[in-house]
A and B are shown apart, each in its own frame.
Chain A
Amino acid sequence: MIPLEHYLYISAALFSLGVFGVLTRRNAVNVLMSIELIFNSANINLVAFSRFVEGALGGQVFALLVIVIAACEAAVALAIVMSLYRVMKNVNLDEAAELKG
């Protein structure tokens, strides 16, 4: 069987890729995709720990709730991106600096 550490390494790599995407992408929708990668890496950890700890199915319930929150986040964030697009005519995050002092 696959040891627990390998799931953790994969999840850590996925998380770091997501962080890299959030920090470097200009397009707001692409930043959202990177955030979804981070959600997925956290979920892998939750499910892996729930498998490797005896009788801890709560981890899977937690992962299910994370999926629900991710759906909420995607809906609200895309609504905000649409509003931003209506004002700015593009969704480049580095140009959305109207409130900068």
Chain B
Amino acid sequence: MESMASAAIFYGVAALVLGSALYVVVGKNLVHSAFALVAAFFGVAVFYVYLGADFLAGAQVLIYVGGILTLLLFGVMLTNQIYNLNLRSGAIQVVPGALSAGLVFALLVWIIQSVDWGAMDAGDPGPTSESIGRLLVGDYLLPFEIASVLLLIALMGAAMLVRRRGSGSS
């Protein structure tokens, strides 16, 4: 009975994620698209909870919803004239785009169906924060360091790119 309810919530969240994603890619209003993206990110965080990835679910909400989405909203606001109240995004080449996306989806579904995954649920791994922390400074130390340097360089590069020419001291 409990697993029934849990499955029902899962498929409800799946429908929410796919519906919001659909609105993001076909919706007319940019700000509404950004808020639909919030719903999609929250739904993906719920998937992480179902998969027993508690730390990742927290990181997803903090970084995506708190960080990246705020950045995207600033992008929407700053790249439109302030008096332009209807922030619209038109669509181009809809038919070829739909065909390509449909082909990609069909190919993926075909692959998923034709492979015998033989996967067994390994069970709830329990709290993962400690193991992920140990892995990050153990087995995955090099990717971790490269990611931190990349983050630094990306932020410096972004600041360089948006600086107005001639207004700097150099």
Contacts and interface: CB of A to CB of B under 8 A. Distances in A.
Interface of A: 1-2, 4-10, 12-21, 23-30, 32-34, 36-37, 40, 43-44, 47-55, 57-58, 60-61, 63-65, 67-76, 78-83, 85, 90-92, 94
Given A12-B112, A76-B154, A81 B79 contact: yes
B60 A67 contact: yes
Could you tell me the dominant secondary structure of chain B's interface residues?
A: helix
B85 interface: no
Nearest to A34: B25
A91 B108 contact: no
Contact of A23 (B101, B108, B155): B101
B101 to A, nearest CB: 4
Interface string B94-121: 1011101110110011001000010111
Given A20-B25, A21-B25, A33-B34, A82 B135 contact: no
Could you tell me the dominant secondary structure of chain A's interface residues?
A: helix
Interface residues of B, number: 81
Contacts of B98: 20, 24
B155 A75 contact: yes
B21 A1 contact: no
B100 A60 contact: no
B117 A4 contact: yes
Contacts of A81: 75, 79
Contacts of A90: 79
Contacts of B136: 61, 64
Contacts of B91: 24-26
A17 B25 contact: yes
Given A44-B44, A72-B151, A29 B24 contact: no
4 smallest CB-CB distances across A and B, nearest first, come from A21-B25, A23-B97, A72-B154, A27-B89
B135 A57 contact: yes
A10 to B, nearest CB: 5
Interface in B76-98: 76, 78-79, 89-94, 96-98
